[in-house]
Structure formats: structure tokens, C-alpha cells
A and B are shown apart, each in its own frame.
Chain A
């Protein structure tokens, strides 16, 4: 990556509130082009609210939100459409349109923005997107109600990726997936990032995903982002919640898995590294 990094999402001084209850206050966050940024925080700290504020579903009380360098607040629909063409969003439960089949769901954004594509090409695109997101080929004509939770999530991913977006928002993408599916999902995201230069904002509690694919992690606590950085950088910080989050039994297990992976890779190389660990 070049020295001067392009900022795709910039949130400054965000304040969101529901009536009396203030969720964020003075929250700042920047997402650089090409990175996978994970957002973590305790339950109820407003991770989803942050995502909803960035994509314009939730109007903040104060603050500024820019995506692709364009302000998301007080814009008219026409201008926002140009931004919406360039992103894909996966909601927590998949948020598939229940009256459409999986294939039709994938085609919705394509039809909305690129109506001139032929019916045949649309079907083909839906077909390969369905396979790419790890759904079985026979899932195409099924309705969301006929799918399991994990499959619904995959179909949601297929729809989010329909436009080959530059920016992908993922809300708890691996929650409810089996470990094999979650790992496959992680590698799908990394692969897409490499091929398409995808930028990803990822809300997750899955420590394995955090360790495996996130370049940086933003921690939300006390209504703001208290730290952003790589996991080792975060671990160096002396903050109780962060330490507990990453150093807890589950955090250690995930870290161990990554290290074991790295060991296996370097073992296959020429120099076996000497690791001293208690």
C-alpha cells in the first residue's frame, strides 16, 4: 500500500441517541481503502448502530459521516444512489426479501442499477454468485423461508456481493455458521479483497475471524472508539476490557490457532523457528 492512504469511510464526532439514551458521543472512525476493519465491543455498545449510521439508515444527532469522500447526511436520494451502487451490505439475519427466491434476491441490486443486462446474463450472474458464496446449486429457486439460518446468511452475502462492490459492510457475518462454514467465509472475504480490492467494515464477536482476516480492529466502549489498531497493538494497551476480550480463554484459543497456523507454514519452509513459550 502506498504511503498516502485513501480514506473510504470517515466518521467524525458522531453522536447518536434514542430519546434520552445516548449510544455514541464524539465517536471517530476511519476506514482505509483495501483494509478489513473489524469493529468489536460489548453487547449494547452500539456496533450495529454505528453501521446503520454510516450507511444512512440512522440519522445521527451530531457529527459527520463520509463514505467515498461524500457526506452521507442531508443528501438527496439521487446522489446517494451513486454511493449505494458501490457498496454491499449484509444484515445480521440476512434480510432477504421473503417473497423472492434466492436467485431473484441476488438479482435485485443488478436490476435496480443495471437494468439493461439481459435476462440470461442476470441468471448466469446469480448462478455463479450463489456458488461463490458457498450455497449448494439447488438453492437458487428456493425461497428464504425454506433455507436454514446459515444458508440465509450466505444468500445475504451473495446479494451483498451482487454488484462487485468496493465496500462491504458485514454485520455479524459468521454468527450462526458452523466452524467450517465460518472459516470458508473468512477465506472468501480475504480472496475477494485480494482480487477486487474490497474494503470491508466488519462487526463481529468471532475472535477467530478477527485474528484470521482483520487488518485492524476498532474497539467501541464508553460511547466512542477507544482504540484502533492491529491486534498486537491493541494487546499492548492497558485497558481492562480489551485485555479481558483478547486475553480471555476464547481469545487465547483463537490466538493460539493463528500462531499454530503460522508455525505450520514456516515449518514447511527451510528454517524451523525456535519458539520459546511457557
Chain B
């Protein structure tokens, strides 16, 4: 401890032998700096003599200020204590050109670059997904050749997570959507005195589109994202590398059980969702339109052709495949850090829902073309 009372760092200027001398006082430490840096910046002229004899404590930041003054303006340091001298040497040694900020590109170029990057990313991501599909088929073929390697337990476990745990939320959601469709349809159809056709609207839309689409969106949000996050964090923890070195194929142990479970459960969930939507719509019809449940069911059986159900059951496994594949693929793409897991999870969900909707449009056109109206 120095004899100087701890106090704010400051300096005053005196002339000695025709030279400007800066006498520093107080503690030149970060917490005591006050306005010293600004005052030093405003100082005009150069070639000072810097007198540190009255300085109390000094830390590297105080030493840096002195060092900078000498470096930029020239001059000499006198009266530095041993420790201060060593500190000055230390900061002088550390004074190297260091880049602090990343390079900035002009905004226009940056935007162009980002567009290009995003486009190529989207392209390579789709290509990667296709490659992943191929690898998965190869894995499946291997599994068919050696059926004993099939992991029944892993698949059944996924059944529970993908299917059973989703029953509540999927059911509630489609039930409510069924009510909304019935209510909105009834309002419009009432204008033509055709309220009774509300049943057609509910029955056909629920089975053909609503049930399976809403389920796909829910499963993408619940399970697709979970797959991406699980595989992503396993990738980060080098679990997947460890698996490979032990000779376990991640494709067989991780990806296929998840994909199979989703593919098998999507039709079941989709059908269940369609039923829930019809129950919702039916209850609305009963309460608001005075169509009793028996008549509602009777009418549904008359107006909904069996082909609608086939459409639902054909689309569902395909959607399940896409959701599970997008989730697993994005999870396996994680490489560097935890932040990427989050990004990849988001991408998995967006990609899955996008592809599901696009394919749904193709299916609609296709089924119409083959006469399944």
C-alpha cells in the first residue's frame, strides 16, 4: 500500500526547463479513472515528460493510458515505481496490432451474399434430404436382409412418444377446428338455406384434409423437432461418433426406429384426428342446427365416399416419412455448437411443414385426376 490516500486519478501540467511536465496524482486504476481518459485525449501538443512519482496504485488500464500517451505523443516517463515500471513494460509488450471488429461488407453486397447463401443452402439442404432418403433406404434394405438387427424396443418406445403422448393435444386441436369449420360453414350456407350441407362440409374436409394436415403439423412440431434436437445434441456429445466406432450404425439404431414409428403412427393419428374433428362438428350441428347425432352420422355415411378415407390413409404415412426424415436429417447435420441445435430444430420443423403442404397439393391434384373426387 502506498502512502497516498486512495483518490481519483488526475494530472496537472507544469513547465520545467522549458518542457511540459504532466504530473499524475491519485490511483491510476480502473475504478478511479474518472474523466482522465477524456482529458488526456483533449491534451494538445507532444513531447511531454510524464511524472508518476505521486501516483498511488496502478493497474494495467492506468499503465495502458500512460503507455498510449508516450506512444502517440512521444515523451518520457519519470518517477515510476518498480511495479508501475514493470506494468508499463508489460502493457508495452502486449501492444500489438489486434483486430477487434469483424470485417464489414457494404450492405448491398451483404444482402446479395445472404440471398445467394440462403438459396444455395436451401438447394443443398433439399439435395441432402434426398441423399439421406437414399441412405435410409439402404439402411432399411440392410435391415430386411438381417431382420434380427431390427430394434423392436426402440420403435415401440417411439410409438409412445410420437403417438400416445400426442393423442390429447391432437384430439383437442382437431375437435376445436371441427367446431370452427361447422360454425363458419353454417353461417355461409344459411344464406342459401342450405344449412344441412354443413354436414357434407365437415365430413369431407375432416377426412380428406383437416385430420391428416393438422396431425402432420402437430407431429412436426412435437416429434420432428424432438428428433432434430435429440440427434443434434447426441452429435455434439460425440455419441454418434462413439456409436460408429463401436460398429453400431446410427442409421439403424437412431434414424430408422424414429422414421418407422412415425410412418406407422401417422395414419392412426390422422384417422383419430378426423374422427375428433367430426365429433366437434357434430356437436355443433346438434346444438346450433338441431341435427341430432344419429342423423349426423347417417348423413356422413351417405356423403363421404370411402375414397376420402383412402386418401387420408395414403397421405398420412408419406407425411410421417417426411416429418421424421427432416427431423433426423437436420439433427445429423449439427456440427459445431449448441446454438446450431436450435437453428437445425427450427429448420427441421419449417422444412417438414413446407414439404407436407407442397405434397398435399400434389396429392389433391393426383387424386382428382384418377377420379377420386
Query: Does residue A126 face the partner (Cβ distance < 8 Å to B)?
Result: yes
Q: DSSP class of B's interface residues: helix, strand, loop or mixed?
A: helix
Knowing A98-B339, A128-B94, A164-B60 are in contact, say whether A140-B87 is a contact too (CB < 8 A): no
A125 to B33, CA, bound (A): 14
Query: Does residue B96 face the partner (Cβ distance < 8 Å to A)?
Result: yes
Chain B residues with CB under 8 Å of A196's CB are 59-60, 87
Chain B residues with CB under 8 Å of A69's CB are none
The answer, among B64, B86, B103, B338, for a CB contact under 8 Å with A128, is: B64
Cβ A145 vs Cβ B336 within 8 A: yes
Produce 1/0 per residue, A99-134, CB < 8 A to B.
101010000001000100110010111111111100
Produce 1/0 per residue, B159-201, CB < 8 A to A.
0000000000000000000000000000000000000000000
A114 to B33, CA, bound (A): 10
Query: Does residue A267 face the partner (Cβ distance < 8 Å to B)?
Result: no
Cβ B100 vs Cβ A131 within 8 A: no
Cβ A137 vs Cβ B97 within 8 A: yes
Cβ A164 vs Cβ B61 within 8 A: yes
Cβ A103 vs Cβ B101 within 8 A: yes
Chain A residues with CB under 8 Å of B103's CB are 141
A-B contacts counted at CB < 8 A amount to 87
A71 to B59, CA, bound (A): 26
Chain B residues with CB under 8 Å of A129's CB are 60, 94
Cβ B60 vs Cβ A140 within 8 A: no
Query: Does residue A85 face the partner (Cβ distance < 8 Å to B)?
Result: yes
Cβ B99 vs Cβ A164 within 8 A: no
A194 to B336, CA, bound (A): 39
Cβ B339 vs Cβ A195 within 8 A: no
Cβ B101 vs Cβ A195 within 8 A: no
Query: Does residue A191 face the partner (Cβ distance < 8 Å to B)?
Result: yes
11 further A-B contacts with Cβ under 8 Å, apart from A103-B101, A129-B60, A129-B94, are A101-B102, A123-B100, A123-B101, A128-B60, A128-B91, A137-B98, A141-B99, A164-B29, A164-B60, A164-B61, A196-B59
24 pairs, A vs B, C-beta closer than 8 Å? A98-B338, A98-B339, A101-B102, A103-B101, A117-B37, A118-B38, A123-B101, A124-B68, A125-B61, A125-B64, A127-B95, A127-B98, A127-B100, A128-B64, A128-B91, A129-B60, A131-B93, A131-B95, A131-B96, A132-B94, A137-B99, A195-B60, A196-B60, A196-B87
Interface residues of A (CB under 8 A from B): 85, 98-99, 101, 103, 110, 114, 117-118, 121, 123-132, 137-138, 140-141, 144-145, 163-164, 191, 194-196
